[in-house]
Amino acid sequence: MTTAHAFTSRPATPDDAPAIAHIYTQGIEDRTSTFETRPRSAEDIRGWFDGVHPIVVIERQHQVIAFASTSTYRPRDCYAGIAEFSVYVERSARGSGAGRAAMNALIAAARDAGYGKLVSRVFPENSASLQLLAGLGFRQVGTYERHGQLEGVWKDVVIVERLL
């Protein structure tokens, strides 16, 4: 557990699922960070806790305000050392440094769990996330054009990676 800027980072537990679902659903509603459109429940989030993929939360005054999670990149054995990641911040805490704190905690947790690389895809117009990730040593690998549809509109995504 670490503290910086009045934030505390710690490994998430299934008890954090309601707060994580709330924050993730805000990101879904905003339509700026994910192709997902269906709100998530705490039960959906509890399914993320597989004992293999680190999930961290950031708290301010004992309230979860951000999370970062890892998940399977690809199911083939050759990709076992790579994790896909996501980071989301509660609307009222955006721009506060909570996303940076979450990613720093996730990078350390993923390294400790034996992962050698983190990867993700970011909408090109999500400049805040792209700037955050660049500042944390992620490199832009390229762009997947027309990678998925969001409300009937094809969208590109920027591929990012960081070796751990």
How far is 29 from 35, CA to CA, in rounded Å?
Answer: 10
Beta bridge partners of 86: 69
pLDDT digits (tens, 9 = 90+) for 57-74: 999 999 999 999 999 999
As a whole number of angstroms, the longest Cα–Cα distance in the chain is 42
Task: For residue 6, name the pLDDT band (cuts at 50, 70, 90).
Answer: confident
Write out the two tokens for 93: 């805490």
pLDDT digits (tens, 9 = 90+) for 81-127: 999 999 999 999 999 999 999 999 999 999 999 999 999 999 999 99
Q: Report whether 70 contacts 76 (CB < 8 A).
A: no
**Domain 2-119 belongs to what topology?**
Aminopeptidase (3.40.630)
Question: What is the distance in angstroms between the CA of the first residue and the CA of the last residue of the chain?
Answer: 20
Q: Report whether 68 contacts 106 (CB < 8 A).
A: yes
Average pLDDT, the chain: 96
Domain boundaries, the chain: 2-119
Q: Report whether 32 contacts 123 (CB < 8 A).
A: yes
Q: Report whether 84 contacts 120 (CB < 8 A).
A: yes
